[in-house]
Chains A and B, each alone.
Chain A
Amino acid sequence: SQQGEEDPQALSIQEGENATMNCSYKTSINNLQWYRQNSGRGLVHLILIRSNEREKHSGRLRVTLDTSKKSSSLLITASRAADTASYFCAMPFTGSARQLTFGSGTQLTVLP
């Protein structure tokens, strides 16, 4: 069964606004990753945060990890129409180092 659950399932915002997506998981992990999938394409790795990190930045992306609450969030600042995509959190299966289980994703629509 999937360990990650994402919220919301769908999010629609105006260009220039910030978008926040959340991911909750069930068991301890050593890292959590976020991926983007444009319609009809493969997934693209965005950012990886390790269990000893609380926050990480990459360009307009900010990821937080709260291991006590078993949750992570992805913030995209100053959204653009090109950010329209599905976003997935992923984490290792319990007992695994590299085999990832994915959440069901958040569909983000950025309106021009």
Chain B
Amino acid sequence: NAGVTQTPKFQVLKTGQSMTLQCAQDMNHNSMYWYRQDPGMGLRLIYYSASEGTTDKGEVPNGYNVSRLNKREFSLRLESAAPSQTSVYFCASSDAGQVFYGYTFGSGTRLTVV
């Protein structure tokens, strides 16, 4: 089925460990996004990539890095995980055409940092 695929679905890290969250979309979308969702705070934008080869910071980029590997894939890296990064992470994509139709989201990665 067409959509946005995130891996892994669950992850437990120790403080200081690193990991990369993977995201791939097969809808030929130009733009991709990483959000985190914390209880009572809605979603906050971490980083985004408006098109292949570009990345920009969102609201809460500290402690994260991203790579737009190609048009399909956009990864999020935690270099040294902290308990404050315990959250659910969502990847999304959208077309960059003249008409904006909204985002397609992945099913999320639930990350716990202990």
Contacts and interface: CB of A to CB of B under 8 A. Distances in A.
Interface of A: 2, 4, 31, 33, 35, 41-45, 48, 88, 90, 93, 97-105
A45 B100 CA distance: 12
11 contacts: A35-B105, A42-B90, A42-B107, A45-B102, A45-B104, A48-B100, A88-B43, A93-B45, A100-B33, A101-B59, A104-B41
Contacts of B50: 98
B48 A104 contact: no
B25 interface: no
A4 B44 CA distance: 12
B41 A43 contact: no
Interface string B30-55: 01010100001111110010100000
B108 A42 contact: yes
Interface of B: 4, 31, 33, 35, 40-45, 48, 50, 58-59, 90, 92, 94, 96, 100-108
Contact of B107 (A41, A45, A93): A41
B105 A42 contact: yes
Contacts of A4: 42
B100 A43 contact: no
Contacts of B58: 99
Nearest to B90: A42
B26 to A, nearest CB: 15
Nearest to A4: B42
A93 B42 CA distance: 14
B76 to A, nearest CB: 15
